[in-house]
Amino acid sequence: MTIDLGGVFVPTVTPFDPDSGELDLDAHRFNLGRWLEHPVRGVVIGGSTGEAVLLEREERLALVEATRDALDSGRLLVAGTGAESTRGTLRLTRDAAGAGADAALVQPPAYYKGAMSVEVLRDHYVAVADASPIPIILYQVPLRFSTLELATELVAELSEHPNIVGVKDSRGSLDLLAEYVTRSERGFEVLVGNGAKLLDSLEIGAVGGILGVANLLPGACARLVADFRSGEKEEAARAQEEVAPAHEVIVGGMGVPGVKRALDLLGYRGGNPRSPLRALPSEFDARIRGVLPGLAVSIS
């Protein structure tokens, strides 16, 4: 299958009702309305920023369905569908496709990390891609999480599969990203997960990003890619200067609780993360506010 991943995707946070702790779809729809005011390529449901590992299967699918209803035909809906078993991954991928997802973002199974050889991972991804009704995007999860690394030779081999169309690389290493770009088959698209290195990644050959910071700066992130594509390098560099501090201070420094708190300060519906994650202590607000003036200008 073919699909154009070029541009910026928002890996959406997941709002919860402050009293019951249940999924808050109204808040999610409100946030979508704000993000989609900007020329983002699409959204990702069930990613790391969306607390996917803390969601139940039914909640993931409800989010996909609600998002599909809100998207116009020009935007892409990507669903995170990685599970620890091949069977579970394929089931969730098929269900997400039925709920309206255009593609699936699949992280590697990592609980039995020592058993996950290149051969085992290859067979896992090939089995999923062979049976999936929608294209598969490999997900190299940030290595600070309890995960494993997708070797360059594995990604290069999987890039030959007609239903594996790209990879999101969140390791933050430009050298390793370049290996994915240069070793993969033509037409296989590389997306970056580090907003502070978006411009450098585009210059290496990435086509865009799935960026936690795009929750906060959808306009600046999308503008950066558009300016780069049109040859406006100085404009792209200025956008990168706006995006980088927000990524480094909030996304990289505070994680999901920080992103949610920053969204609240920006007038979105962030709310508290789901237990066992804890809300960000108020003492961090000053640091967030230190980069909010630029954020506020960007989304106005």
Residue 75 token pair? 């935007």
Which neighbouring-strand residues pair with 169?
Answer: 140, 192
Residue type, 253: G
Catalytic residue among 168, 197, 233, 260: 168
Q: Is 168 a catalytic residue?
A: yes
Residue type, 1: M
Round to the nearest angstrom and report the end-to-end CA distance of the chain. 37
DSSP class per residue in 210-249: E-GGGGT-HHHHHHHHHHHHTT-HHHHHHHHHHHHHHIII
Chain centre distance of CA 37: 18
The CA radius of gyration of the chain, in Å to the nearest whole number, is 18
Contact 191, 140 (CB under 8 A): no
Q: Closest Cα to residue 159, out of 128, 127, 126, 192?
A: 126
The residues assigned a catalytic role are 168
